[in-house]
Amino acid sequence: MLIFECPYCGVMADETDLAPGGEAHIKRYGPGSSDDEFESYLFARKNPKGVHFERWRHVSGCGKWFHAARDTVTLEVYATYSAQTLEPPKALLSAIKKKNPEWEGWS
Amino acid sequence: MRRYSAFAIAREGARYHQGWERAWKAPEPKKKYDVIIVGAGGHGLATAYYLGKNFGITNVAIIEKGWLGGGNTGRNTTIIRSNYLQDPSAAIYEKARSLYETMSQDLNYNVMFSPRGVMMLAQTQHEIRGYERTAYANALQGVKTEFISPQRVKDLVPIINIDGPRYPVLGALWQERGGTARHDAVAWGYARACSDMGMDIIQKCEVTGIQQSGGKVTGVATTKGDIACDKLAVVVAGHSGTLAEMAGFRLPIESVALQALVSEPIKPCMDVVVMANTVHGYMSQSDKGEMVIGGGADGFNNYTQRGSFHHAEETVRALVETFPIIGRLKMMRQWGGIVDMTGDRSPIISKTPLENCFINGGWGTGGFKSIPGSGWAMAELVAKGEPGPLAAAFGLDRFAEGRFIDESVAAGVAH
């Protein structure tokens, strides 16, 4: 079972206490953007085999959304971090890179 | 190829079964093919088969990372039905179901298609309305289904508990000609027929890159060297996103684990397939007597081919109420498969931004039932370069145009 530490309330939460929310850091497009941009915002997903940045909500706890870095092959949870950010923290990226030298990085 | 028949069994029986041929060859890849199909699962092999049968294209290689039929073709719960709400879905799934009816004769390989009937239980008022609507839609589409009463459900499935208390059975959508087939045999039958047409099935060969020049596909890089091709068909289900990344485009697909489990074998007690979508479970009895149970999908991206334990628990907990007699059964095996889910829960059979590269994926949790129809439509797309009537609605462009084939509302799980 996946276990995440909620970055807001500090609880070690089981997968059953959380609701998955899909890919994180998707760039939003609003009025005035092209059809292609809007389509990619709505539907195109990275779906990586490996490191994935995603959103989770601590439903049976504090109720807040947070971000997590998780591996979709090993199911390892690297870290969780605040949802109030537009991209993953630099320190987290280098920690993941150190563990997985072959990982091509976040883009 | 020597045909399988009762006579062949008698002949081989008389000489200690020494004369059986290999069902398919194990060739080394050639330098170039007209068409390369990536993925030797049911959909890839069916695509190859109908390319040969319907369009006479036999200079074809089917490249497989593992072994043929070893992905979701060998991991599903073998249910075949076509009771879909939307017209394009009903058309392609009904084509598939009708091809299953004659597949054993067509391939000269017993796929054990068993049209035992598929029942989808209505356990809420909302489901009754939904299924009545589907039954009317199916009548217009020429798919034979009917909405039946709880008493008829009980007559068809004596072991069912229709009185609840949590989820009483209020009726069911019944498709008499739905059923099951032997999943491995479908892959093996297609493989044998393809090999007989002179196609090369290359197993244990992973595609590591897609070569292109001037926006056109020219071949693939594999662990057995580079292989050139005129046309490329990507039919890799859960790994569609990985292959698309190699080709340089992104897909509206996310891969999640869907799991199933199977009980110890018991005497025959249920001769139809029962699906209960409200409680996220479906069950049928295999020819060996095992109760085959399909569960829900995880909500997060996953490539591990195993699902979360709590999902198996939810499924079994709900099914025990509907089928009290399974309460004491031991579950023998549990496994997961990686399914490729699109936003509208409908598949993609489409041209791609890369010329002469075609993709067939996104079948999500409903891949097995669609194998022959999918192969039929994909073969037409690859051969002609343009989608035929079955595939036209399933293009990638539907996401940009907002032209969804929205089956997700009707069946987000057991679909």
Q: Domain spanning B25-78+183-252+344-401: which superfamily?
A: FAD/NAD(P)-binding domain (3.50.50.60)
Mean pLDDT of chain A: 92
Measured CA to CA in angstroms, residue B55 lies from B39, B68, B257, B383 at distances of 20, 23, 36, 7
Q: What ipTM was assigned to the predicted interfaces of this complex?
A: 0.90
* Beta carbons of B354 and B248 less than 8 angstroms apart: yes
**CB B338, CB B257: distance < 8 Å:** yes
Residue B310 has its nearest CB partner, among A16, A22, A47, at A16
B303 and A49: CB-CB below 8 Å? yes
B404 in contact with A at a CB cutoff of 8 Å?
no
Question: For the domain that residue A39 is a member of, what is the CATH number?
Answer: 3.30.2270.10
* Residue B415 pLDDT level (bands cut at 50, 70, 90): very low
Could you report the per-residue pLDDT of A76-95, keeping only the tens digit for each? 999 999 999 999 999 999 99
Q: How many domains in chain A?
A: 1
Mean pLDDT of chain B: 92
Q: What is the pLDDT of residue B158?
A: 96
Largest CA distance in chain B: 65
Domain ranges of chain B: 25-78+183-252+344-401, 113-178+254-342
Interchain proximity B399–A39, CB inside 8 Å: yes
Q: How far apart are the first and last CA of chain A?
A: 28
Length of chain A: 107
pTM: 0.93
Q: What's the full length of chain B, in residues?
A: 415
- Domain assignment present for residue A107? The answer is no
What is residue B33's predicted lDDT score, i.e. its pLDDT? 97
- Cite the beta strand spans of B110-166 per DSSP E: 118-122, 146-148
- The percent of residues in chain B predicted with pLDDT above 70, rounded, is 98
Domain of A44, in residue numbers: 3-99
Quick: pLDDT tens for B176-209: 999 999 999 999 999 999 999 999 999 999 999 9
Residue B167: closest CA among B129, B119, B123:
B123
pLDDT tens digits along B72-125: 999 999 999 999 999 999 999 999 999 999 999 999 999 999 999 999 999 999
Among the listed residues A47, A61, A44, the one whose alpha carbon sits nearest the alpha carbon of residue A7: A61
CB proximity A39 to B under 8 Å? yes
Closest CA to B366 of B290, B258, B286: B258
Q: CA B383, CA B53: separation in Å to the nearest integer?
A: 12
The answer, for B223 touching chain A at a CB cutoff of 8 Å, is no
Q: Does domain B113-178+254-342 match CATH 3.30.470.20?
A: no
User: pLDDT (tens digit, 9 = 90+) per residue, B294-336?
Assistant: 988 888 999 988 878 888 888 888 889 899 999 999 999 999 9
B12 three-state secondary structure? helix
* B337-393: pLDDT as tens digits: 899 988 888 999 999 999 999 999 999 888 999 999 999 999 999 999 999 999 999
